[in-house]
Amino acid sequence: NAGVTQTPKFRILKIGQSMTLQCTQDMNHNYMYWYRQDPGMGLKLIYYSVGAGITDKGEVPNGYNVSRSTTEDFPLRLELAAPSQTSVYFCASLRSQGGTGELFFGEGSRLTVL
């Protein structure tokens, strides 16, 4: 199993540009999450999904959108990039049925908005 795979690993955007961070998992996990981690800070939840077709806002959803058309994929969309969105983004997944509450994280996507 590859686990949770994120692409791209690095990206530089100009203000106002849009992009999609891709996330896919091959563990058949129901729950998927997007977090952002600002320098020297902890994790903040952006959006999460409890299964295909269902998404919900987390702590800091403004400026982002998500979709969950399949169990495997959970892309994060930035429509109008702003410098405040410069951060490292982590996708994670969790098996909800009989699981241990353990999150599996991708390696992160470092985004810089100039």
**Nearest distance, CB of residue 92 and another protein, angstroms:** 8
**Nearest distance, CB of residue 4 and another protein, angstroms:** 8
**Nearest distance, CB of residue 40 and another protein, angstroms:** 8
Q: Confirm if 74 and 49 have CB atoms less than 8 A apart.
A: yes
Long-range contacts of 38-46 (CB under 8 A, 24+ apart): 38/87, 38/88, 43/90, 46/76, 46/89
Binding site for another protein (CB under 8 A): 4, 31, 41-43, 48, 50, 90, 92, 94, 96, 99-103, 105-108
